[in-house]
Structure 1
Protein backbone atom coordinates (compact mmCIF):
# COMPACT_ATOMS: atom_id res chain seq x y z
CA UNK A 1 0.00 0.00 0.00
CA UNK A 2 1.66 3.22 -1.15
CA UNK A 3 0.30 6.18 0.79
CA UNK A 4 -1.02 6.34 4.35
CA UNK A 5 -3.73 8.93 3.88
CA UNK A 6 -7.40 8.23 4.50
CA UNK A 7 -7.74 5.95 1.46
CA UNK A 8 -4.53 4.04 2.11
CA UNK A 9 -5.27 3.54 5.80
CA UNK A 10 -8.77 2.26 5.14
CA UNK A 11 -7.66 -0.06 2.36
CA UNK A 12 -4.80 -1.41 4.49
CA UNK A 13 -7.18 -1.98 7.41
CA UNK A 14 -9.60 -3.95 5.24
CA UNK A 15 -6.79 -6.06 3.83
CA UNK A 16 -5.45 -6.80 7.31
CA UNK A 17 -8.93 -7.71 8.57
CA UNK A 18 -9.25 -10.03 5.60
CA UNK A 19 -6.32 -12.03 6.89
CA UNK A 20 -3.64 -10.85 4.48
CA UNK A 21 -0.32 -9.27 5.42
CA UNK A 22 0.00 -5.64 4.39
CA UNK A 23 2.78 -3.07 4.34
CA UNK A 24 1.94 0.63 4.33
CA UNK A 25 4.58 2.93 2.81
CA UNK A 26 4.47 6.61 3.78
CA UNK A 27 7.06 9.36 3.46
CA UNK A 28 5.20 12.07 5.38
CA UNK A 29 2.69 11.91 8.23
CA UNK A 30 0.51 8.85 8.68
CA UNK A 31 -3.04 10.09 8.18
CA UNK A 32 -2.22 12.16 5.13
CA UNK A 33 -3.52 15.51 3.96
CA UNK A 34 -7.01 15.16 5.41
CA UNK A 35 -5.71 14.76 8.95
CA UNK A 36 -3.03 17.45 8.87
CA UNK A 37 -3.46 19.90 5.98
CA UNK A 38 -7.06 19.72 4.75
CA UNK A 39 -10.23 18.39 6.42
CA UNK A 40 -9.20 18.56 10.08
CA UNK A 41 -7.32 21.89 10.21
CA UNK A 42 -9.75 23.67 7.88
CA UNK A 43 -12.70 22.75 10.11
CA UNK A 44 -10.75 23.84 13.19
CA UNK A 45 -10.16 27.23 11.54
CA UNK A 46 -13.79 27.52 10.44
CA UNK A 47 -15.62 26.45 13.59
CA UNK A 48 -14.91 29.43 15.89
CA UNK A 49 -15.99 31.93 13.24
CA UNK A 50 -19.09 29.88 12.43
CA UNK A 51 -20.08 29.81 16.10
CA UNK A 52 -19.55 33.56 16.49
CA UNK A 53 -21.48 34.34 13.30
CA UNK A 54 -24.36 32.10 14.40
CA UNK A 55 -24.54 33.80 17.81
CA UNK A 56 -24.75 37.22 16.16
CA UNK A 57 -27.83 36.10 14.23
CA UNK A 58 -29.78 35.00 17.31
CA UNK A 59 -31.68 37.59 19.36
CA UNK A 60 -30.58 37.40 22.96
CA UNK A 61 -27.26 35.86 22.00
CA UNK A 62 -26.11 38.66 19.73
CA UNK A 63 -26.27 41.10 22.62
CA UNK A 64 -23.73 38.98 24.49
CA UNK A 65 -21.25 39.05 21.60
CA UNK A 66 -18.98 41.97 22.36
CA UNK A 67 -15.71 41.22 20.61
CA UNK A 68 -13.97 39.61 17.66
CA UNK A 69 -12.31 36.25 17.30
CA UNK A 70 -9.07 35.70 19.17
CA UNK A 71 -6.95 34.71 16.16
CA UNK A 72 -4.09 33.37 18.27
CA UNK A 73 -6.50 31.14 20.21
CA UNK A 74 -8.04 29.87 16.97
CA UNK A 75 -4.60 28.94 15.62
CA UNK A 76 -3.81 27.12 18.88
CA UNK A 77 -7.12 25.26 18.52
CA UNK A 78 -6.05 24.29 14.99
CA UNK A 79 -2.70 23.07 16.32
CA UNK A 80 -4.49 20.88 18.86
CA UNK A 81 -6.78 19.48 16.16
CA UNK A 82 -3.79 18.23 14.16
CA UNK A 83 -1.87 17.11 17.27
CA UNK A 84 0.82 19.68 16.39
CA UNK A 85 1.54 17.71 13.20
CA UNK A 86 2.60 14.65 15.17
CA UNK A 87 1.31 11.33 13.81
CA UNK A 88 2.17 9.23 16.88
CA UNK A 89 -1.46 8.29 17.58
CA UNK A 90 -2.07 7.26 13.97
CA UNK A 91 1.12 5.20 13.97
CA UNK A 92 -0.13 3.45 17.11
CA UNK A 93 -3.39 2.64 15.33
CA UNK A 94 -1.52 1.24 12.31
CA UNK A 95 0.63 -0.97 14.52
CA UNK A 96 -2.40 -2.12 16.50
CA UNK A 97 -4.22 -3.07 13.30
CA UNK A 98 -1.45 -5.49 12.38
CA UNK A 99 -0.16 -3.34 9.53
CA UNK A 100 3.56 -2.97 8.86
CA UNK A 101 4.52 0.70 8.48
CA UNK A 102 7.50 1.52 6.27
CA UNK A 103 8.80 5.10 6.19
CA UNK A 104 10.05 6.25 2.81
CA UNK A 105 9.18 6.97 -0.82
CA UNK A 106 8.07 4.10 -3.02
CA UNK A 107 8.74 3.69 -6.73
CA UNK A 108 7.22 0.98 -8.91
CA UNK A 109 9.88 -1.10 -10.62
CA UNK A 110 7.81 -3.89 -12.16
CA UNK A 111 4.72 -6.05 -11.73
CA UNK A 112 4.04 -6.20 -7.98
CA UNK A 113 7.54 -4.84 -7.36
CA UNK A 114 8.68 -1.57 -5.91
CA UNK A 115 11.70 0.10 -4.37
CA UNK A 116 11.45 2.10 -1.16
CA UNK A 117 13.88 4.96 -0.53
CA UNK A 118 14.18 5.91 3.14
CA UNK A 119 15.16 9.26 4.67
CA UNK A 120 18.84 8.30 4.62
CA UNK A 121 18.71 7.57 0.88
CA UNK A 122 18.90 3.81 1.29
CA UNK A 123 17.10 1.71 -1.33
CA UNK A 124 15.45 -1.60 -0.59
CA UNK A 125 13.07 -3.73 -2.67
CA UNK A 126 9.59 -4.95 -1.82
CA UNK A 127 7.64 -7.66 -3.63
CA UNK A 128 3.87 -7.95 -3.18
CA UNK A 129 2.30 -11.39 -3.23
CA UNK A 130 -1.12 -10.13 -4.29
CA UNK A 131 -1.10 -6.51 -5.45
CA UNK A 132 0.31 -3.03 -5.05
CA UNK A 133 -2.26 -0.35 -4.23
CA UNK A 134 -1.53 3.26 -5.17
CA UNK A 135 -3.11 5.66 -2.67
CA UNK A 136 -0.73 8.56 -3.11
CA UNK A 137 -3.28 11.38 -3.15
CA UNK A 138 -2.64 14.50 -5.21
CA UNK A 139 -0.60 17.69 -5.29
CA UNK A 140 -1.83 21.28 -5.67
CA UNK A 141 -2.06 22.56 -9.23
CA UNK A 142 -0.34 25.93 -9.47
CA UNK A 143 -2.02 28.06 -12.17
CA UNK A 144 0.12 29.71 -14.83
CA UNK A 145 -0.46 33.28 -13.70
CA UNK A 146 2.28 35.66 -14.90
CA UNK A 147 4.53 36.63 -12.00
CA UNK A 148 3.01 34.15 -9.55
CA UNK A 149 6.17 32.06 -9.48
CA UNK A 150 8.06 35.08 -8.14
CA UNK A 151 5.82 35.46 -5.09
CA UNK A 152 5.74 33.54 -1.82
CA UNK A 153 2.28 32.13 -2.57
CA UNK A 154 0.54 29.63 -0.33
CA UNK A 155 -0.82 26.25 -1.25
CA UNK A 156 -3.84 24.94 0.66
CA UNK A 157 -1.47 23.15 3.04
CA UNK A 158 0.41 26.39 3.72
CA UNK A 159 -2.86 28.19 4.47
CA UNK A 160 -4.24 25.57 6.85
CA UNK A 161 -0.91 25.46 8.72
CA UNK A 162 -0.33 29.24 8.78
CA UNK A 163 1.31 30.62 11.93
CA UNK A 164 -0.32 34.04 11.65
CA UNK A 165 -3.32 35.69 10.00
CA UNK A 166 -2.31 37.88 7.03
CA UNK A 167 -3.65 41.41 6.67
CA UNK A 168 -4.96 40.57 3.21
CA UNK A 169 -5.33 37.43 1.15
CA UNK A 170 -6.18 36.69 -2.50
CA UNK A 171 -7.55 33.20 -3.10
CA UNK A 172 -7.39 31.69 -6.58
CA UNK A 173 -10.35 29.36 -6.95
CA UNK A 174 -13.85 29.22 -5.52
CA UNK A 175 -14.28 25.51 -4.96
CA UNK A 176 -14.64 23.84 -1.59
CA UNK A 177 -11.09 24.51 -0.39
CA UNK A 178 -11.04 28.10 -1.63
CA UNK A 179 -14.45 28.88 -0.13
CA UNK A 180 -13.53 27.36 3.23
CA UNK A 181 -10.28 29.29 3.45
CA UNK A 182 -11.93 32.53 2.32
CA UNK A 183 -14.55 32.29 5.05
CA UNK A 184 -12.11 31.20 7.75
CA UNK A 185 -9.55 33.94 7.13
CA UNK A 186 -12.16 36.66 6.57
CA UNK A 187 -13.67 35.90 9.97
CA UNK A 188 -10.19 35.87 11.47
CA UNK A 189 -9.69 39.43 10.26
CA UNK A 190 -8.06 39.21 6.82
CA UNK A 191 -9.29 41.25 3.87
CA UNK A 192 -10.07 38.43 1.45
CA UNK A 193 -10.55 38.58 -2.31
CA UNK A 194 -11.64 35.43 -4.17
CA UNK A 195 -10.63 35.16 -7.83
CA UNK A 196 -12.65 32.58 -9.78
CA UNK A 197 -13.24 31.73 -13.43
CA UNK A 198 -16.88 30.87 -12.75
CA UNK A 199 -19.38 31.03 -9.93
CA UNK A 200 -18.78 30.16 -6.29
CA UNK A 201 -18.91 26.38 -5.75
CA UNK A 202 -19.94 25.89 -9.38
CA UNK A 203 -20.23 22.10 -9.01
CA UNK A 204 -22.95 22.35 -6.36
CA UNK A 205 -26.73 22.98 -6.58
CA UNK A 206 -27.86 26.59 -6.70
CA UNK A 207 -29.58 26.49 -3.29
CA UNK A 208 -26.36 25.26 -1.66
CA UNK A 209 -24.28 27.93 -3.44
CA UNK A 210 -26.64 30.70 -2.34
CA UNK A 211 -26.28 29.68 1.31
CA UNK A 212 -22.51 30.06 1.10
CA UNK A 213 -22.59 33.26 -0.95
Structure 2
Protein backbone atom coordinates (compact mmCIF):
# COMPACT_ATOMS: atom_id res chain seq x y z
CA UNK A 1 0.00 0.00 0.00
CA UNK A 2 1.51 3.31 -1.07
CA UNK A 3 0.68 6.64 0.50
CA UNK A 4 -0.36 9.37 -1.90
CA UNK A 5 -0.02 12.70 -0.15
CA UNK A 6 -2.64 14.25 -2.41
CA UNK A 7 -5.22 11.51 -1.85
CA UNK A 8 -7.13 12.15 1.39
CA UNK A 9 -8.86 8.76 1.33
CA UNK A 10 -5.55 6.95 0.87
CA UNK A 11 -3.97 8.90 3.73
CA UNK A 12 -6.84 8.04 6.08
CA UNK A 13 -6.62 4.37 5.13
CA UNK A 14 -2.86 4.45 5.76
CA UNK A 15 -3.31 6.03 9.22
CA UNK A 16 -5.99 3.46 10.11
CA UNK A 17 -3.54 0.66 9.28
CA UNK A 18 -0.81 2.30 11.36
CA UNK A 19 -3.20 2.61 14.29
CA UNK A 20 -4.05 -1.10 14.09
CA UNK A 21 -0.36 -2.04 14.17
CA UNK A 22 0.42 0.33 17.05
CA UNK A 23 -2.44 -1.03 19.17
CA UNK A 24 -1.31 -4.58 18.38
CA UNK A 25 2.20 -3.78 19.63
CA UNK A 26 0.89 -2.09 22.79
CA UNK A 27 -1.18 -5.16 23.61
CA UNK A 28 1.90 -7.36 23.23
CA UNK A 29 3.92 -5.03 25.46
CA UNK A 30 1.16 -5.05 28.09
CA UNK A 31 1.54 -8.84 28.30
CA UNK A 32 5.18 -8.42 29.22
CA UNK A 33 4.54 -5.36 31.39
CA UNK A 34 1.14 -6.05 33.06
CA UNK A 35 1.14 -2.81 35.05
CA UNK A 36 0.91 -0.93 31.74
CA UNK A 37 -2.81 -1.76 31.66
CA UNK A 38 -5.07 -2.52 34.65
CA UNK A 39 -8.09 -3.71 32.66
CA UNK A 40 -9.12 -7.34 32.15
CA UNK A 41 -9.56 -6.68 28.45
CA UNK A 42 -6.19 -5.14 27.60
CA UNK A 43 -7.47 -3.78 24.29
CA UNK A 44 -9.72 -1.37 26.21
CA UNK A 45 -6.65 0.48 27.51
CA UNK A 46 -5.58 1.47 24.01
CA UNK A 47 -8.85 2.16 22.19
CA UNK A 48 -8.23 5.91 22.49
CA UNK A 49 -4.90 5.75 20.61
CA UNK A 50 -4.78 8.53 18.02
CA UNK A 51 -2.67 8.59 14.86
CA UNK A 52 -2.23 11.81 12.90
CA UNK A 53 -0.23 12.75 9.83
CA UNK A 54 1.99 15.69 10.72
CA UNK A 55 3.69 15.96 7.33
CA UNK A 56 3.71 14.17 3.98
CA UNK A 57 6.01 14.91 1.08
CA UNK A 58 6.95 13.30 -2.20
CA UNK A 59 10.45 11.85 -2.50
CA UNK A 60 12.08 11.19 -5.88
CA UNK A 61 13.17 7.64 -6.61
CA UNK A 62 15.49 6.21 -9.20
CA UNK A 63 14.39 6.06 -12.84
CA UNK A 64 11.77 3.44 -13.74
CA UNK A 65 10.55 3.50 -10.14
CA UNK A 66 7.50 5.30 -8.86
CA UNK A 67 7.91 8.24 -6.55
CA UNK A 68 7.56 7.47 -2.87
CA UNK A 69 6.32 9.50 0.06
CA UNK A 70 7.99 10.39 3.34
CA UNK A 71 5.48 10.77 6.15
CA UNK A 72 5.81 12.18 9.65
CA UNK A 73 3.36 10.41 11.94
CA UNK A 74 2.29 11.48 15.42
CA UNK A 75 0.87 8.78 17.69
CA UNK A 76 -0.90 9.74 20.92
CA UNK A 77 -1.05 6.97 23.49
CA UNK A 78 -3.46 7.22 26.45
CA UNK A 79 -1.95 7.97 29.85
CA UNK A 80 -0.42 4.85 31.37
CA UNK A 81 1.72 4.40 34.43
CA UNK A 82 5.13 6.06 33.87
CA UNK A 83 6.77 3.12 35.67
CA UNK A 84 6.13 -0.52 34.75
CA UNK A 85 7.49 -3.88 35.87
CA UNK A 86 8.59 -6.73 33.63
CA UNK A 87 6.60 -9.94 34.26
CA UNK A 88 9.86 -11.91 34.05
CA UNK A 89 11.56 -9.64 36.60
CA UNK A 90 8.85 -8.35 38.98
CA UNK A 91 11.37 -6.57 41.20
CA UNK A 92 12.74 -4.55 38.31
CA UNK A 93 11.02 -1.24 37.54
CA UNK A 94 11.37 0.37 34.12
CA UNK A 95 10.18 3.70 32.75
CA UNK A 96 7.34 3.25 30.27
CA UNK A 97 9.03 5.84 28.07
CA UNK A 98 12.11 3.61 27.86
CA UNK A 99 10.04 0.52 27.04
CA UNK A 100 8.18 2.23 24.19
CA UNK A 101 11.24 3.88 22.70
CA UNK A 102 13.22 0.63 22.76
CA UNK A 103 10.34 -1.26 21.15
CA UNK A 104 10.08 1.29 18.34
CA UNK A 105 13.79 0.94 17.63
CA UNK A 106 14.12 -2.84 17.93
CA UNK A 107 10.77 -4.04 16.56
CA UNK A 108 10.37 -1.85 13.48
CA UNK A 109 9.06 -4.70 11.35
CA UNK A 110 6.22 -5.26 13.82
CA UNK A 111 4.87 -1.81 12.97
CA UNK A 112 4.60 -2.77 9.31
CA UNK A 113 2.80 -5.42 7.27
CA UNK A 114 2.81 -6.96 3.80
CA UNK A 115 -0.16 -4.83 2.74
CA UNK A 116 1.31 -1.74 4.34
CA UNK A 117 5.12 -1.71 4.03
CA UNK A 118 6.35 0.93 6.44
CA UNK A 119 10.05 1.71 6.73
CA UNK A 120 10.82 3.64 9.90
CA UNK A 121 13.77 5.94 9.29
CA UNK A 122 13.76 7.42 12.78
CA UNK A 123 11.46 7.73 15.75
CA UNK A 124 11.15 9.64 18.98
CA UNK A 125 8.98 9.18 22.02
CA UNK A 126 7.82 12.16 24.08
CA UNK A 127 6.23 11.20 27.35
CA UNK A 128 3.42 13.26 28.79
CA UNK A 129 4.90 15.75 31.21
CA UNK A 130 2.93 17.14 34.13
CA UNK A 131 4.01 20.71 34.82
CA UNK A 132 4.40 21.41 38.54
CA UNK A 133 5.28 24.52 40.53
CA UNK A 134 8.71 24.94 42.08
CA UNK A 135 9.01 22.82 45.19
CA UNK A 136 6.78 20.08 43.76
CA UNK A 137 7.23 17.22 41.28
CA UNK A 138 4.87 14.77 39.50
CA UNK A 139 3.97 11.71 41.55
CA UNK A 140 4.68 8.15 40.34
CA UNK A 141 1.43 7.98 38.37
CA UNK A 142 2.11 11.34 36.73
CA UNK A 143 -1.38 12.43 37.81
CA UNK A 144 -0.72 15.13 40.40
CA UNK A 145 2.04 17.27 41.89
CA UNK A 146 3.53 16.44 45.27
CA UNK A 147 5.66 18.69 47.45
CA UNK A 148 9.23 17.69 48.25
CA UNK A 149 9.34 16.36 51.80
CA UNK A 150 11.17 17.74 54.81
CA UNK A 151 14.88 17.01 54.59
CA UNK A 152 14.80 17.45 50.82
CA UNK A 153 14.76 20.25 48.26
CA UNK A 154 13.53 20.57 44.69
CA UNK A 155 16.37 20.45 42.16
CA UNK A 156 14.59 22.46 39.45
CA UNK A 157 17.19 21.56 36.81
CA UNK A 158 16.72 17.80 37.19
CA UNK A 159 13.10 18.19 38.38
CA UNK A 160 13.60 15.79 41.29
CA UNK A 161 13.56 16.03 45.07
CA UNK A 162 17.04 15.55 46.53
CA UNK A 163 18.16 15.05 50.10
CA UNK A 164 19.79 18.03 51.74
CA UNK A 165 23.56 17.49 51.82
CA UNK A 166 25.49 17.22 55.05
CA UNK A 167 25.64 20.37 57.18
CA UNK A 168 22.31 21.52 55.74
CA UNK A 169 18.72 20.80 56.74
CA UNK A 170 15.17 21.61 55.67
CA UNK A 171 12.29 21.63 58.13
CA UNK A 172 9.60 22.62 55.61
CA UNK A 173 8.04 20.90 52.61
CA UNK A 174 8.02 22.20 49.06
CA UNK A 175 11.34 24.06 49.19
CA UNK A 176 13.91 24.68 46.46
CA UNK A 177 16.93 24.91 48.76
CA UNK A 178 18.21 23.75 52.14
CA UNK A 179 19.23 25.78 55.18
CA UNK A 180 22.81 25.80 56.39
CA UNK A 181 23.43 24.89 60.01
CA UNK A 182 23.61 28.28 61.76
CA UNK A 183 26.72 27.85 63.88
CA UNK A 184 28.95 29.18 65.20
CA UNK A 185 29.18 25.91 67.14
CA UNK A 186 26.55 23.57 65.72
CA UNK A 187 27.63 23.62 62.10
CA UNK A 188 27.61 19.92 61.19
CA UNK A 189 25.04 17.20 60.51
CA UNK A 190 25.80 13.50 60.74
CA UNK A 191 24.01 12.50 57.54
CA UNK A 192 22.18 13.76 54.47
CA UNK A 193 18.49 14.60 54.61
CA UNK A 194 18.39 16.37 57.97
CA UNK A 195 14.95 17.74 58.81
CA UNK A 196 15.64 20.01 61.78
CA UNK A 197 18.13 22.56 63.07
CA UNK A 198 18.40 20.36 66.16
CA UNK A 199 20.28 17.83 64.02
CA UNK A 200 23.12 20.32 63.63
CA UNK A 201 25.92 19.43 66.06
CA UNK A 202 29.23 20.86 67.15
CA UNK A 203 31.43 17.82 66.82
CA UNK A 204 32.19 16.33 63.41
CA UNK A 205 34.08 13.08 63.63
TM-score, normalising length: structure 2: 0.24
| Structure having the higher Rg | 2
Structure with more strand by fraction: 2
Structure with more helix by fraction: 1
Q: Which has the higher contact order (CA 8 A, sep 6+)?
A: 1
TM-score, normalising length: structure 1: 0.23
